[in-house]
Amino acid sequence: GLTCKNYKTKPTHDDNDDVYDCFCVTDRGPPSLNLGVELKLDWMTLEDFQKHLNGEDENLSPLALTPAELREAVKNGNYLAVKRALSSKEDYNLDQEDSSGMSLTLLAAAGGQDDVLRLLIKKGVKVNARQKNGTTALMHAAEKNFLTTVAILLEAGASVNAQTRAGETALMKACKRGNADVVRLLLEYGADCNILSKHKNTALHYAKLSNNLMVYDLIKDHMQTLSTVAEETIRAYFETRLALLEPVFPLACHRLCEGPDFSLEFNYKPPQHTPAEGSGILLFIFHANFLNEITARLCGPCSVHAVVLNDKFQLPIFLDSHFIYSFSPVQGTNKLFIRLAESPTAKVPGTVTHYYLYEMV
């Protein structure tokens, strides 16, 4: 993921300033659970469970279905029918859509049909397919509070920050419904809290509308933590030789596996006062990790290839580092584009990059 902010800064020369950055097991076979009624359930071994996840647990004879029958089986969560159909010699278009753009992946996700979804993903379906209104499988699962479905899609490379035509993201939809666990998982995968919908609303706005205090606090605390980590990282890098002022635009996030290009449009209003001598605006690009504890760095390997603002290349301030750039926004609307190294297998928060844009004076 990516994050961007800007702070006005000014050199500081005060060396005295402190910087504080219960089941029964027998020896007669697999363990079982006796419910005290005529129903008795056998527990799967770990090996059998992994085979089930991989779709290798049943030795079923293939059975071809028509595309319409396959679609119905996916919608109804008929795992065996789908598995037999996909094992047949029938050449299916697994990315087939209905009139609204609803693909098999979207159908499985919208119904929380995890086993069927895994089969489809294993067959190479597009996890980021969209309906005509821009809705993705991840958005359906997030809105309906299907936590495991959300996890499966994220692990398969679903774009966490994709937007509908109305500008809504999976995080916004989860916030609307007060789905706290889904919100927490999306944040761990680099969901951007500051993306605006067409009506200029953020995830925090929808969290507040849901009247779910837990969801609201999750979003607010996450945003605060990101800002704190970013500022502490900057101060540690420069050894407190500058002062950070207000950001030019809110932090933004982008996962590397979601493509090599990041773009952002923002409005800039210059300060009313005359900037002090030696002041300026810098763009900070962090590589961040959202897993367990949020961390960020401004050194080491960097995925950034180029930074373009309003069709003009911006230059790194250090020749051997592409984490910090000179930045010259104009009054009004600005368009930022960042070209990154491709990393299609980077699906975990550890590979999330963050752009923070800071105005520094």
**pLDDT tens series, the chain, 361 aa:** 444 444 444 444 444 433 222 333 333 334 444 444 444 445 667 776 676 666 666 667 888 899 999 999 999 999 999 999 999 998 999 998 988 899 999 999 999 999 999 999 999 999 999 999 999 999 999 999 999 999 999 999 999 999 999 999 999 999 999 999 999 999 999 999 999 999 999 999 999 999 999 999 999 999 999 989 988 988 888 886 777 877 888 888 888 778 888 898 999 988 877 666 667 888 998 888 887 788 888 888 888 899 999 999 999 998 888 899 989 999 999 999 999 887 655 543 333 334 455 555 4
d(CA 168, CA 171): 8
What residue has token string 């961007």? 4
What pTM did the predictor assign?
0.79
Helix (H, G, I), strand (E, B), or coil: what is residue 359? strand
What count of Cα atoms within 13 Å lies in the side-chain half-sphere of residue 76?
A: 10
CA 242 to chain centre: 32
For the chain, give every domain's residue range: 243-360
Helix (H, G, I), strand (E, B), or coil: what is residue 356? strand
Farthest CA pair distance, the chain = 83
What residue has token string 């897993």? 291
- Cβ pair 160, 188 in contact under 8 A: no
pLDDT value of residue 12: 42
Structural class in CATH, domain 243-360: mainly beta
Torsion of the alpha carbons at 41, 44, 45 and 50, rounded to the nearest 10: -170
CA 321, 326, 261: angle at the middle one, nearest 5?
A: 70
Give the CA radius of gyration of the chain: 24
